[in-house]
Amino acid sequence: MVELRENEIRILAALDKLDGKASVEQLMAECELPDSAVMRSALILQENNYVTVHAHPETKVKLTAEGEIHAENGLPERRLINAIVTLGGKVTLNQAAKEAGLDQQFAQIALGWTQRKKWATFDPKTNTLEITGPPKTGNDETLLSELATKTETQLDKLPTEQRDAIDMLKKRKAIVVEEKTERILQLSKEGRKAIEGGAADLTLGAREVTQLTPELIINGEWRTVRFQKYNIQAPVAKSWPGKKHPYLSFLDEVRAKLITLGFKEMTGTAVEMGFFNFDALYTPQDHPARELDGIYYVKNAQGDLAKYHDAVKRVKAAHENGGETGSKGWGYTYSEQEAKRLLLRGHGTCLSARTLLSKSLQVPSKYFSIARVYRPEVVDKTHLSEFNQVEGIVIEENLNLRDLLGVLGKFAKEIAGADQIRFKPDYFPFTEPSVELSAYKKGYGWVEFGGSGIFRPEVTQPLGIKQPVIAWGLGVDRLFMMRARIDDIRTIFSQDLNWLRIKPVI
């Protein structure tokens, strides 16, 4: 015979006393055990074929606190109509409400329902109510009376006409409807044999305890008690401990790998000046990306470029006529007012521009940033209006396109777990040549990650840089999508607890 623990023996004894069949609630009362203890023991007894657990889904209807008031005193319209009858059948609303003891809120509700149930007519000019006929008792009132004598009732036990009133009373917040599952435990043949064999005799054996306490040691009972054995393979309720968001964990991994490769992190504010977001990157001031449908501007606000006077002067010359870069420039009159406009940064490359202009810049060196950027995009499964970019630049003599492609390929394979990569020519105002990176993962498909290239002289020379600079800006959100095999970018920022719980930290 299987060795049973104390609670399981108590459940068997209670079932024997209750003619072999009882609900969980009955067993809780009989054994003086909580619901969790009864169900835990029931599952173990069922595994050993001592009991059978039958689950019966039920729909329960019960009164709310407001419903209890209405069940005791009557619905507001019933109280109002009774007051009208008491006052002679025709009175003002205020008089009837006062007689019924209704405050202003319930008086208006009662008025509406008397009209809906056609119990009385109302003249808004004189604010007068008049009885139209004997007010019949409705199904809603009958149901309230039924529930007033019970804490709850089963939906399928209610007459059909009372069921029709349920939606009405739910909307009035007088009742709630709850789905419950009633579990019935029934002794099996094996269970009866166990009882007949003495398993349910609680006088047999030593008292079972779950832990050694100071009291047991002091009074010496530890010598006679039996310590409960635990089945480590028994099913338990799932627990969800706290953990870092899978995407934040991924960003930490990206950051750690880049630092390991010798990159230094660039940081900056989300609000940027047009000078660094566009001008320093040789983007003309009439470029479509600077329109209201391409960038978020801070209304009626400007930044201060005084400390960057020399750089602004050189950038202005590059835009207007090429300056000393050997270029012809864009051929327009540069506006410093436009350069001062504040905006939400539209890409992480503005951090690269600031870094190249920084006095702490080292050559040769490598820099990266993981930056939240903002664009007025139409949100869909591959686009968000705010997202993250991983930005990188390398400054060194004799850098060429092959160096750039090598860095991008290593990045896509090691960070996103891509199986294949491909490059194709692209265009950006601030790089030449420019390259677009796409990557492929088996079972996921091809994904475009972003652009890259070698900064043009019109970018580097006005910022005081003579060495070549390779740069890239990749959508790190899409990198994570490929890594985690997610096909909708909105999932990353979802509040779906189930997804957050089951998604492993990678």
- pLDDT mean values, one per 10 residues, the chain (506 residues): 74 87 88 85 86 86 87 88 89 89 84 88 88 85 83 76 82 85 87 72 56 88 79 72 86 88 89 93 90 89 90 93 89 92 92 91 90 88 85 89 86 80 88 88 81 91 91 85 82 81 72
Domain C-terminal end among 227, 258, 293: 227
- At residue 202, the pLDDT reads 41
d(CA 285, CA 391): 23
- At residue 156, the pLDDT reads 76
d(CA 324, CA 318): 7
| Adjacent-strand bridge partners of 341 | 302
Same domain, 170 and 199: no
The answer to whether position 380 is within a domain reads yes
- At residue 300, the pLDDT reads 86
Same domain, 359 and 478: yes
CB 81 within 8 A of CB 135: yes
CB 229 within 8 A of CB 208: no
The answer to whether position 1 is within a domain reads no
Same domain, 41 and 96: no
The answer to whether position 58 is within a domain reads no
Q: 446: domain CATH number?
A: 3.30.930.10
Same domain, 138 and 104: yes
Number of structural domains in the chain: 3
Peptide bond connecting 364 to the previous residue in cis, omega within 30 degrees of 0 = yes
Same domain, 353 and 448: yes
- At residue 235, the pLDDT reads 67
The answer to whether position 473 is within a domain reads yes
The answer to whether position 364 is within a domain reads yes
| Adjacent-strand bridge partners of 487 | none
Q: Does the predicted TM-score (pTM) go above 0.75?
A: no
CB 296 within 8 A of CB 374: yes
Same domain, 109 and 212: no
Same domain, 259 and 404: yes
The answer to whether position 122 is within a domain reads yes
Same domain, 81 and 206: no
The answer to whether position 237 is within a domain reads no
CB 344 within 8 A of CB 298: yes
- Report how far apart, in Å, the C-alpha atoms of 298 and of each of 336, 343, 345, 378, 487 are: 17, 5, 11, 20, 33
The answer to whether position 375 is within a domain reads yes
- At residue 387, the pLDDT reads 87
Same domain, 392 and 438: yes
Same domain, 257 and 400: yes
Same domain, 218 and 141: no
| Residue from 235, 154, 256, 191 nearest 49 by CA | 191
Same domain, 133 and 261: no
Q: Find the domain containing 31 and state its range.
A: 6-50+188-227
CB 348 within 8 A of CB 441: no
Domain C-terminal end among 175, 196, 211: 175
Q: 90: domain CATH number?
A: 1.10.10
